[in-house]
Amino acid sequence: MSVTSHEALSIVIIIYFCPAFFVAAWICRCHGCGKQLGWFYMALLCLVRVVGSALQIASEINHESSLHTAAGVINSLGTMALLLGMLEIIDQFESTLQSKPVHQRAWTFLHLAQYAAFILYAVGMGMGRADLNKAASIIVVVVFVVQVVMCGVLFRHKHELASESRLLLVAIASIPFLGVHVAYGLSTILVPSDSVFINGLTNVLVSAFLQYLMEFVVTTLFLYAGVVFLPDKQVEADNLEINLIDESRSGGNYIKLLSSR
């Protein structure tokens, strides 16, 4: 049985996001849930992509429209998860500043807008309402533009905390790739459904490079940030564990070290 182009792309997506999910889950465990939800959104993105790709393969094999619709609804979470991940990284940097250049209402607006966009996507795909999909895509574009502006505002304050400025630079580095991703999502809504851009092998190639390749890059950047910027307590715990192991290997009294705790 030959593998179609859609199935091949789905397999590649699963190959990347499956191990990425375990990395994201480990990062969530190290950072904790708390207010740092950016890493949770990255784990959600990985899970969504794996499940969505599996449903896409199943729909290609069984030719069931319900599976294809379910895959579309689940995959619509991907863009929101990336933007929410970026938003949380920006929020984490802003929380370390003494001054708060971004008003609290802006953060609330961005979260609510992205949740609304997902609801519109889900309802639009489930009911075949193109107008709802267009509305959701426009909301996503507005949210992305606002987050880019917020990065610019916070960049002016990066000198206040030089050690954490790299976290903001990760968000800024992701902007070009997220921009391509968002622009592609908007174009798929505005282009007619019978266009070559939407159907056939051309659609698979365009989607692979303009959507999923961009997701691979942004996900790698965000996971890198999650590994590099571990909480101080986690770093101290890791160093303590290494020191205990070194003591045991050098003939130190490892049992006494443990019992003294």
User: Looking at residue 182, what is its pLDDT?
Assistant: 92
72: Cα within 13 Å, side-chain hemisphere: 20
* pLDDT of 234: 47
103-107, 230-234, 239-243: segment of lowest average pLDDT? 239-243
* Tens-place pLDDT, residues 19-65: 999 999 998 888 765 555 678 888 989 999 999 889 888 888 887 77
d(CA 8, CA 6): 5
Higher per-residue pLDDT: 217 or 191:
217
Q: How many residues in total does the chain contain?
A: 261
pLDDT of 210 above 80: yes
99-132 pLDDT per residue, tens:
788 888 888 899 899 889 888 888 887 777 888 8
Q: What is the pLDDT of residues 15-30, one digit of tens each?
A: 999 999 999 999 888 8
Structure pTM?
Answer: 0.81
Full 3-state SS string of 7-36: HHHHHHHHHHHHHHHHHHHHHHHHHCCCCC
Q: Which pLDDT score is estimated for 75?
A: 77
- pLDDT cut 70: percent of the chain above it: 79
**Class for domain 5-229, per CATH?**
mainly alpha
Q: Where are the alpha helices (DSSP H) in 96-164?
A: 104-127, 130-155
Contact indicator for 228, 165 with CB cutoff of 8 Å: no
**136 vs 113: CA distance, rounded Å:** 9
The domain spans of the chain are: 5-229
Which residues fall within 8 angstroms of residue 35, CB to CB, at 6 or more apart?
A: 91, 95
95, with CB counted inside 10 A (0-12, 13-18, 19+), is exposed
The residue written with tokens 């949740």 in the block is 115
What confidence score (pLDDT) does residue 23 get? 92
**Average model confidence (pLDDT) for the chain?**
80
CB-based contacts of 200, cutoff 8 Å, min separation 6: none
* Gap between the Cα atoms of 73 and 10, Å rounded: 16
Rounded Cα distance, 45 and 81, in Å: 6
| Distance separating alpha carbons of residues 9 and 152, to the nearest angstrom | 35
Q: How far apart are CA 43 and CA 23, in angstroms?
A: 8
